[in-house]
Each structure stands twice: as C-alpha cells, then as structure tokens.
Structure 1
C-alpha cells in the first residue's frame, strides 16, 4: 500500500551547519500536485471552512493570552497566490490580533540600513499573528538574480537570516514559511488572464514579465535559499500552487498544526467578576 502523504513530506530538510543540504531539490515537488485531495467536489473548500473556524478560536486565544507570537511567511513567484491565500485562509478569522505586512522594493531610507532593518519592526508582537506577504527573503532572492550579490554575500545574508529567525523563535515566535510553488505554464495563464480582463489590469505590472524572463535563475535562487534557511525553529514548506483551493488548504493545515502545538487556552476567569450583575 502506498504511503499516505503528510505535511512534512513537503518540508525542506533542516539545514545543518557545515553540511551541504543536498537532499533538497525544488524540482522534486510537482506544482500541480494535490496530495491531500480526495477528488470529491468542493472538499477543499469544506475543509478550509472547518479549519477557519478552528483558527478563529485559536487566534482569539493567542490574542487573549498575549504570551506567544506567530509569524507566517508567504513567498513565491508572481501569481503564485500570496494575496489569494491570505483572503481564503483568513476570511473567517477575527481581524483582532491579525496583521498583514506586504513587502515591496526597499526605499532609499531602507537601503541605507542593513537589509533586516525594515523587517524587525514588523515582526509579531505578543498575542499577534502576523503574515508577511513577501518578506526579508526578497532582499536575498532579487539581488541574487540581478547579480548584485556574489556567492559569499549570499551565504552571509543566509547566516544573518538564520540568526534573525533564531532570535524571533527564542523570543516566543512560532515561524512557518511557505514557498508557493507555481509552474511556469500556470503563471503564463494567470498573467494572461490579468491582461485579458480590464478589471484585473491594476494587478498587472510589466516588471512581472521581466521577472518571468529570469524564471530559471529565480528557481535556482529559491532552491539555494530554502536549502540553507530551513531550520527546526523556522522550517520551509514547498506548497504546490497550481491549484488555488488545494494550496489554501495546505497552508491552513500547516497553520492549524502550528497553533495546536502552542496549546493555547483562554486566560483564567477573573474571580473579581464572580457574581457581578450588570444593571
């Protein structure tokens, strides 16, 4: 009998200092895969709704307890579905204690500081779930593809990222990082759909076509980056993203598992309120 897929089958092996993470290859993951699909109609949406209700309660406990923090990092090529994932996974979650941070190209002021300067202030506070829509990894991937970082500079930034994420983890932040893995052909279809639909022109940027021309370089940069920044305290997961609904379910399942591992509870009832009547 074939082994049933598990979430950790999509986790990038943990990086070990001084060793090459040669067990990982991005091409091993099929962007069109739907490993947890039963094939029944609408099962992804039904499961997402179930998870959403659970996440709503758990996120409320996180916010009420104000002891732990959760950071979800979403990375991926253009049209891989970072915005769509956020809308789908969190549409049932109370926005109280939920914060979304989109990272764009750094400003001149941000470029005048170290590359993590603009990121640290956006990390989750106690009791907060923060979602990075793109992240500090943009400052690793983009300059690498553009030839602005050499091999030693790339390695140094990866070291700084591991140390930065270790600091967050040691301070009570649970970190989940998802690389939304879309195929080149599916990206072509989604970009064309944006061009063909006038109501989606606002989502299209000509720069997306320039990045597409660098597809192979971006895939190589992602593989190198994920291999050396996936750690036990901040693991990377490769999420097949050609199917939007299945992509959403996989991210939601990972987040649910992360929240449940925190063993969150509501704060103890206040004895001072016992017997109080509102007139």
Structure 2
C-alpha cells in the first residue's frame, strides 16, 4: 500500500513484526465510531468534497487502467448496516464500469465449500489495471466461524497465517491492497436496523438473522480485534473508518483511495510514433 498521510496513518494498524499472528495488539475500543477527523465541520461542504473526490477517483481510475502496472483490491469489512453498499455508491459511483468491479460475498455455496476457503476469493481478485471492491471478503472466514465456534483456536491462527501469505502473494505480484474496517457503534446499528423495519421500501434489506447476529455484538467486536491484530501487516495494513456518519465514512475512504492512487505515480503509456502522423479524413 502506498504511504498514507500522517492523519490517515493515525487510523491504520500494521503489525510491528513480519505479519505473523501475535503482532502488536489492536484495540478497537480506542477508536470512536462517531468521530469525524476529516470533516470540515459542515455536512454540506463534506458532501461536496465527497463528490469532488469521487470524480478524482474516476479520473485516476482511467489512468490506472491505462497504466496497467498495478492492480487495486479494496476490502470493505464491517458489521451489518456499517455502509459497505453506501461506500461503493458514494466513492466509486462515478467510475466507468470499464476496469472497476464490485464483488459481494455471501455464505459459500456447496461447490465453494468443497474447496479451500480462499479458492473462491482468488478467482475474483483484480487483473492488471483493474480495481475490484470486495463487499465483505475472505475475512468473513475468520469472523463468522470463530464467533459460532465452527473452527478451533488453532485453525483460526492457521487461517490468519494463510490470509497473510495470500495477501503477500497478491502484493508481490502487483496488487495494492486497501483494507477498510467500517467501525459502527452498537447504538447506530440499532437505529439503522430499525429504519429498515419502519420503511417498507427497505424491508428487502432486512433478514431475521440480522437480529441474531446483533445479539453476538461483543463476540464479533472481539473477533474483529483478533483478526486485525493478526492480519494488519506491513504489506496490507488495516484502516479503521469511523462509520456512524455516512458522509464522513465516504469522505475518509475516498481520500484514502485518492492518496493511494496518486502515490503509485501512474503514467500513460508512451505514444506511438506510427500514430503521430496519422490524420483522420
């Protein structure tokens, strides 16, 4: 990942070691889900800035696609209602479908379960010049099974190491990885779930299982802390995004994506001498 500004770096976690499980302990509690460190103080101005940054992402994406030296994987991970869909619309909604793809991950199919848990993930990572956004990700495999007791602590540690190795493989073959944990408070999640229940046009977003998962809130927060501790590596650090404010969430992620793309020193391929003298009649 390209070097971040000091302000963004304050919200990043990367292991002090070599990415093995057991690195510098991550404490989610020290981050305020309602914080707005990148806000101008005006919601209207912040929304305008998000729109400007979204256009900048589009411009840089065009250059990124032409350059073809890199691949960009954006991981959006968070609890229900944390705003993964909203981030995709707000930050990447201006980009061309050419070279930008969003992948939504759900429970694995029977065919996917017949393979190792990273098999389906590897098929969807970006190719040269592509930007791929993961709505949820391979990190579900060290969250859901852990909270529900489907894998042992030893298997969990093994998966952390496998994920670190997988991401290192991607980075060493040209992929830049931006991992965002959308940090939502329990009170804000309650309000957003209730909004879905109160609005018939949003009932399709609600599943009965959402309330069961909410009862496991503390267990999921602990699982996130453990996963981020073990997988916040030098080559793929985590960025914690306060997500109670939808506008600020988009502002922070858009800024991080723009910084990352600019840090790659992208360039258009050299012009062709054969084309320089052609004239269209």
**Could you tell me the TM-score, scaled by structure 2's length?**
0.95
Unpaired segments ≥5 residues, structure 2: none
State the match for 1:195 in structure 2.
197
Partner of 2:273: 271
Q: Distance in 2 between matches of 1:160 and 1:11?
A: 21
User: Counterpart in 1 of 2:144?
Assistant: 142
CA deviations on 1:131-177 (whole Å, 9 max, x unpaired) are: 00000001111000000111111000000000000000000000000
Q: 2:163 aligns with which of 161, 181, 194?
A: 161
TM superposition shift of 1:35: 0.7
Partner Cα separation in structure 2 for residue 87 and residue 231 of structure 1: 28
Question: How far, CA to CA, are the matches of 2:16 and 2:141 in structure 1?
Answer: 20
* 1:95-149 CA-partner distances (Å, limit 9, x unpaired): 2100111100001111111110110010000010000000000111100000011
**Which residue of 2 is the match for residue 109 of structure 1?**
111
Q: Please state how far the C-alpha of 1:53 moved relative to its aligned partner.
A: 2.1
1:110–1:84: structure 2 CA closer, same or farther, 3 Å change rule? Answer: same
On the 8 A contact 1:81/1:241 being kept in 2, the answer is yes
> Where does residue 86 of structure 1 map in the other structure?
88
Deviation track 1:56-86 (CA, whole Å, cap 9, x = no partner) reads: 1211111112221000000000000000000
The number of residue pairs the alignment matches comes to 276
> 1:11 matched to which residue of 2?
12
What per-residue deviation string (whole Å, max 9, x for no partner) do you get for residues 181-222 of structure 1?
000000000000001100001111111111101000000000
Q: Which residue does the alignment assign to 2:218?
A: 216
Q: Is the 8 A contact 2:26 2:226 kept in 1?
A: no
Give 1:87 shift: 0.2
Segments of 5+ residues of structure 1 without an aligned counterpart are none
**Does structure 1 conserve the Cα–Cα contact (< 8 Å) formed by 2:72 and 2:176?**
yes
Distance in 2, Cα, partners of 1:120 & 1:19: 22
CA–CA distance in 1 between the matches of 2:54 and 2:241? 19
Q: Do 2:15 and 2:24's aligned partners in 1 also have CA atoms closer than 8 Å? A: no
Instruction: After superposing the two structures, state which structure 1 stretch, 254-263 or 18-27, moved more.
Output: 18-27
1:29 counterpart residue number? 31
Q: Give, in whole Å, the separation in 2 of the partners of 1:163 and 1:5.
A: 27
Question: Structure 1 stretches (4+) deviating beyond 6 angstroms?
Answer: none
Aligned-residue offset at 1:22: 4.4
SS in 2 for 1:259: helix
Q: Take 2:167 and 2:24, find their aligned partners in 1: how far apart are those partners?
A: 22
Partner of 1:175: 177
Corresponding position of 2:97: 95
